[in-house]
Chains A and B, each alone.
Chain A
């Protein structure tokens, strides 16, 4: 995916992430957020990885490979966006 623009957006919740995307899509031909069949909202899965919680890295035992400390939610949500053309609003939201 080297020939596309990649943005990682971070927000305090999934809803906040959706709000960022909704704000960024204003006036654009293709929306970043779409309505799903149940009346909810979902990201455009053809350009955006489904939002997920940001976690700390897990700790594993070097000898046995067993999990010592599981990952813990940091409190933020992430989504990654890949676009063919640069997007100033997403760049700003991503802090690029």
Chain B
């Protein structure tokens, strides 16, 4: 009975808040007759967001996405489906596919033309690209189109023989005239597909030979490239397709190139489409509408718990990646996320005082189910069903004024990975 007394499914008067025509099966009633409204959330959930499944619940009632998530991002964004197809989401539209919600941080693509504007098969290369002119080793545009991933590609061929008497490095430069905007790492990413080749070796590089893609053989293959290099501000950036052709050697290589991107940091964000100038994908600001009222109605001020399913694609990044951030300001908030040391971290602070729980370091990338409870005297984190950190510390829960999903309240610390599901419920002693 103690559970029922704490359940948010009951109003203070003791009556269940679910429709009498559809009693929830977890209370021992028969499953709903209408399969479309069968319960898919967890017992006790007051808010359940199944982004990957496209279904949302608030207090046992099906809810629209707009009722449970507000989005601000006045730029377009791209995100993948499970089948590997990219969708483009317009301004203020959350990037949600069957992989989940992508809460992305801000990124600028410094490859100014990755949509190949101005290119002509058998003729011009994309506007802004520069191509080496070496006798006997010409490059050509062999094809243009849209790939099965939904993004544009360009086919580029180099065919000829080096008769110049010296080793040559014929190249196509994607970032001519670009200089680094920062002192720090830049990451160049792309998909290079070898459609056919007669010469193995260098394909792509970011300035230095040490930051390059070399193919080991001439077999057709797909390479998802990530080249990271440290720059100084104002240093020239040369992201290029290049071959090394020794004296007397012939080459006939055909490449398909897509998703060209060059951005700051060492994390390659989803593709940002450019058509003549660098473009910025603004950050997502994702909030639960009317969170203060909901948190009060759900009794979260006395403690709250929940569960999330997230796909983690990387663990080497020294950045915080938050699943949620509930509170009022920096000294008064509760958040759960992947810390910079790749532990799962639950922090609860009121007036900057309160516990911080950390699990052991996550050992691998992949899908994780994370559960947590924020309750004075009994807080914990579970990873894939096992208690991974706990605390009996007593504390004051901060005022839960705003609820951010997938990033920190300042707009940094974005998850930059798909959040498949998020469930919230009251805490249990």
- State whether A38 and B330 are in contact (beta carbons under 8 Å apart), knowing that A1-B91, A47-B74 are contacts in the complex: yes
Q: How far is the CA of A66 from the CA of B411 in the complex (A)?
A: 38
For residue B42, CB closer than 8 A to chain A, the reply is no
A46 and B285 form a contact (CB under 8 A): yes
Q: Least Cβ distance of A85 to chain B in Å? A: 10
For residue A76, CB closer than 8 A to chain B, the reply is no
- State whether A34 and B74 are in contact (beta carbons under 8 Å apart), knowing that A3-B91, A46-B284 are contacts in the complex: no
For residue B238, CB closer than 8 A to chain A, the reply is yes
B280 and A4 form a contact (CB under 8 A): no
B179 and A71 form a contact (CB under 8 A): yes
Interface of B is mostly: loop
B74 and A36 form a contact (CB under 8 A): no
- State whether A66 and B236 are in contact (beta carbons under 8 Å apart), knowing that A57-B177, A60-B176 are contacts in the complex: yes
Size category of the binding interface on chain B: 35 or more
Chain B residues closer than 8 Å to A52, beta-carbon distance: 181
B106 and A49 form a contact (CB under 8 A): yes
Q: Least Cβ distance of A24 to chain B in Å? A: 16
B234 and A55 form a contact (CB under 8 A): yes
Interface hits, A12-48 → B, CB 8 Å: 30, 34-39, 42, 44-48
B284 and A65 form a contact (CB under 8 A): no
For residue B75, CB closer than 8 A to chain A, the reply is yes
Chain A residues closer than 8 Å to B330, beta-carbon distance: 35-39
Interface hits, B227-264 → A, CB 8 Å: 234-236, 238
B residues in contact (CB < 8 Å) with A: 72-76, 90-92, 105-106, 108, 130, 173, 176-179, 181, 234-236, 238, 280, 282-285, 329-330, 408-413
A residues in contact (CB < 8 Å) with B: 1, 3-4, 30, 34-39, 42, 44-50, 52, 55, 57-58, 60, 65-67, 70-72, 80, 82-84
Give 7 pairs: A residue, B residue, CB < 8 Å, sorted on A: A1-B91, A4-B74, A34-B411, A45-B282, A46-B74, A50-B106, A82-B91
Extra contacts, 10 of them, besides A38-B330, A45-B282, A46-B411 (Cβ < 8 A), are: A1-B76, A35-B329, A45-B285, A46-B72, A49-B280, A57-B177, A60-B176, A67-B236, A72-B234, A82-B74
